[in-house]
Amino acid sequence: MHDESWNKLAGIKTGEIIAKEREDMIYLGQYQGDLEINKVKIRLFHGGGNAYAISYKLQKMMEQIPSGDKPHILISGHYHTSLYFFYRLIHAFQAGCFEDQSLFLLRMGINPTIGGWTIKVRIADDKHRTVLSITPTFIPFMKGSKK
């Protein structure tokens, strides 16, 4: 059962419960949360619904972020796809996933991109820790692949 199902059925936020029990996890919010690493602002966002193009929902979300609230990096889940693009001074990622094709995804017409990103960030030594460059690397996982 999806964690959102527990929230709808009984108001249970599974991420919040898990974080209370584990000191190595921090609950950032049900759908969105910000964190900072070396003063680089990263926003994690759980998307919703699919669109005609894999970049569309993320791009529309980025257009709605006020200039004073923009993260350096935006990482979106939910879509089961991988993508990187730079728009409005935001480095945007769709995270990929670790779920193989399911009957639900098949019914929705989604072919999951299984794998994850490593992201190398070069930052300036200024008071804003300006992001000078990002080197994204997607590491795909394929059935039967050797370690």
Tens place of pLDDT per residue across the chain (147 aa): 566 777 788 888 888 999 999 999 998 988 899 999 988 999 999 887 777 788 898 999 999 999 999 999 999 988 888 999 999 999 999 999 988 888 988 888 888 899 999 999 999 988 877 899 999 999 999 876 555
How confident is the model at residue 44, as a pLDDT?
95
Tokens 């193989």 label which residue?
A: 100
Give the C-alpha separation, 136 to 114, whole Å.
Answer: 16
**Is there a contact between 45 and 31 (Cβ–Cβ < 8 Å)?**
yes
**What pLDDT does residue 2 have?**
65
| 3-class secondary-structure state, position 5 | helix
pLDDT at 106: 87
Alpha-carbon distance of 97 to 10, in angstroms, equals 26
pLDDT at 82: 93
Structure confidence at residue 4 (pLDDT)? 72
Bridge partners of 39, per DSSP, are none
pTM: 0.85
